[in-house]
Structure 1
């Protein structure tokens, strides 16, 4: 580059020197110098015009215009940059086409929107699942195309840890699962899966459990009735049968408890979550459940402490909340040794109401915690005979909290007790006045 610039300066000096010499020969050296400068200016303007004409249509020109000197170097440099640009652009277009082709080959729908929700691009599966139309829906707000309140709330809240399930807006027979990811400047990538088959299997499972529970309830009631009658006339029953009757009565009671929990869980899963909502006094509910827990403790003499800090009036389903709270506190009684301590604490902070049930019982191995809310899952199956539980308690608690927009947090370690925390959203608080610290039991 330095060498080319030196050559250009030498040519300019030579041109000006020649122009000055010719002007001196005719007696007008300044006129000769001016003529040389005008000649060079005209040549420069001509090269500039050729450059602008070439830049106006670079894709159609195979080569840059030919020239010499400085302009030749400029044309050659721009021509080289243009070829590199075309090469890189072709490579990017090829990669983009492969990405689009692979995305279109996916069975899951993919939709890209900007921060407002305007649709930039979608693949073929999204075209079918969401009934998008090429040409007309490009640039439209996705909130205007999927008008379901649940989707609009999910899209705008920007909390995408869990996917959203809903029926397809234009195909009610399809069940969709939508997962949103943020990228760029709050742009959004929507992944839409067809989970219709899984949803149908889940419905079949729920219907089977519900129907089986109800069908088993009638014959079990008859069996329990006859066992109770025989127990009332135990003096007339041979001695070698009395132990068998007691065992059958105990197992019958356990089956009744299992069926009752299955029916309750089925109602919580399939019922209308807003049907029975009202104002619930959590303080009164906790005092009642703690009194029942003292009765359940009986001769084990557990120390059950209840503290309430903050407002207790919340919006919810009293029946479901009673079931969830009872299962947590009764579990603490069952799995805490005699004369153990159980602390029940209610508080209402900025993040919302928090119910904590803490015990110093046998504890749970942390490896089991992720599966504790599964139906019938037991961290220690050997405890079944002692506690008489159904294995559905924490599953009921989980679904009760889901129906109240809350979450269950479990922390425990073997031999050091367990802590179960129920976090409710702040929107569930009805009254804002705080209650004084209250303790009982």
Structure 2
């Protein structure tokens, strides 16, 4: 390239020297230089017009104009850049088409929007599941097409750790799970997965548990009634029958507790979170639960301490909160040896309000913590017979906290006691 420029400069210098020599020979140096420069300017303008016509012609891939020297190299260089640019465009177009084809082959709906929610692109499954129209819906805000306040709130919050499940606006019988990922300048990639089958199976499970629990309650009530009648006449029965009646009465009581917890859990799973929201006086609620815990402790004489150092009002369902808090506190009583300490602490900070229940009980291996809120899961199955619980208490706690946008944190070590902490966001109080 440097050699080319040197050659062009040499040609200009040689031309000027030639024009000067001719001008001296003919005796008119000025006019000779003017005529030479005018000829060069005319040739240059002609080449510029050729360049303009070529660049703005309908077919920019046409052969470049014929020329030589500086303009010839310029035409060839621009033509080379055009070919490289077109090749890159072809590769990018092929890649985009391939990505779109692969996205269209997905069974999940895929939607791309800008930061304001304007729809830029979606695949065929989005048209099927959500009813988007390829022509009229392009550029429309997505929350104008998915007209659910929960979706708009989820879209705008920018916290997409957990998905949201909603019915399809085009086909209400289809249940979709939405996940959103941020990319670029707050643009969104939305993926909607059809979970109708899983949702229906979960609903069948809930209905089955609820129906079976209801159906078992009546015969169990009858059995318990007859057992109570027989136990009243245990003095007239042989000792072996008395022991059998006591055992059956205990097991019937445990079954009644299990059925009650199953019905309560089914209720909390299906309850509308927006219902029964009111200001709950947590201070008064905890004092009431503490009194019940002291009764449960009985002769074991546990030292139960309650401290509250914040506003005791919490927006929620008092019955649900009572069930969750009492489950945690009563568990502390059950698993703490006699005369042990149980500390109940209610406080607030910049993250929200919190309830801590800490005991000096037997504790358990932290390996069990991820599964503690599963139905019927027990960190120590051998304690089942001693405590007589249903195994559903922490599952109930989990659903109550979920209904109040809260989280459960558990800390424990073998022989060093346990601590259960309920975290509620700032907007809850």
For Structure 1 versus Structure 2, the TM-score category normalised by the shorter chain is over 0.9
SS at match of 1:172: coil
In the alignment, the residues of structure 2 paired with residue 411 and residue 40 of structure 1 have an alpha-carbon distance, to the nearest angstrom, of: 89
Q: Which segments of 5 or more consecutive residues in structure 2 lack a partner in the other structure?
A: none
Superposed CA deviations along residues 129-186 of structure 1, whole A, max 9, x for unmatched, are 1110011110111121112111111111111111011111122111111111111111
Matches within 5 A, 1:120-131: 120-131=120-131
Contact preservation (8 Å) 2:61, 2:82? no
CA drift of 1:372 comes to: 1.3
1:193 is matched with 193
2:101 is matched with 101
In the alignment, the residues of structure 2 paired with residue 190 and residue 161 of structure 1 have an alpha-carbon distance, to the nearest angstrom, of: 13
In the alignment, the residues of structure 2 paired with residue 142 and residue 350 of structure 1 have an alpha-carbon distance, to the nearest angstrom, of: 33
Q: TM-score, normalised by structure 2?
A: 0.97
1:174 is matched with 174
In the alignment, the residues of structure 1 paired with residue 110 and residue 79 of structure 2 have an alpha-carbon distance, to the nearest angstrom, of: 40
Comparing 81-90 and 183-192, the one that deviates more: 81-90
Superposed CA deviations along residues 54-76 of structure 1, whole A, max 9, x for unmatched, are 22248543332232222222222
Matches within 5 A, 1:135-284: 135-284=135-284
Q: Which segments of 5 or more consecutive residues in structure 1 lack a partner in the other structure?
A: 430-441
In the alignment, the residues of structure 1 paired with residue 420 and residue 56 of structure 2 have an alpha-carbon distance, to the nearest angstrom, of: 71
Comparing 323-332 and 239-248, the one that deviates more: 239-248
Superposed CA deviations along residues 263-318 of structure 1, whole A, max 9, x for unmatched, are 10011111233332322111111011111111112222222111101111122111
SS at match of 1:179: strand
In the alignment, the residues of structure 2 paired with residue 393 and residue 48 of structure 1 have an alpha-carbon distance, to the nearest angstrom, of: 85
Matched, 1:17 2:17: yes
Contact preservation (8 Å) 1:321, 1:400? yes
SS at match of 1:250: helix
1:435 is matched with none
SS at match of 1:178: strand
In the alignment, the residues of structure 2 paired with residue 113 and residue 45 of structure 1 have an alpha-carbon distance, to the nearest angstrom, of: 49
Q: What is the CA RMSD across the aligned residues, in angstroms?
A: 1.4
Contact preservation (8 Å) 1:372, 1:378? yes
Structure 1 runs of 4+ off > 6 angstroms?
none
Matches within 5 A, 1:5-404: 5-57=5-57, 59-404=59-404
Superposed CA deviations along residues 360-403 of structure 1, whole A, max 9, x for unmatched, are 22223222212211111122222211211111111101111111
Question: Whose relative contact order is higher, 1 or 2, with alpha carbons under 8 Å and at least 6 apart?
Answer: 1
SS at match of 2:173: coil
1:432 is matched with none
In the alignment, the residues of structure 2 paired with residue 55 and residue 16 of structure 1 have an alpha-carbon distance, to the nearest angstrom, of: 32
In the alignment, the residues of structure 2 paired with residue 186 and residue 61 of structure 1 have an alpha-carbon distance, to the nearest angstrom, of: 38
In the alignment, the residues of structure 2 paired with residue 170 and residue 273 of structure 1 have an alpha-carbon distance, to the nearest angstrom, of: 25
In the alignment, the residues of structure 2 paired with residue 68 and residue 368 of structure 1 have an alpha-carbon distance, to the nearest angstrom, of: 83
SS at match of 1:420: strand
1:438 is matched with none
In the alignment, the residues of structure 2 paired with residue 15 and residue 286 of structure 1 have an alpha-carbon distance, to the nearest angstrom, of: 103
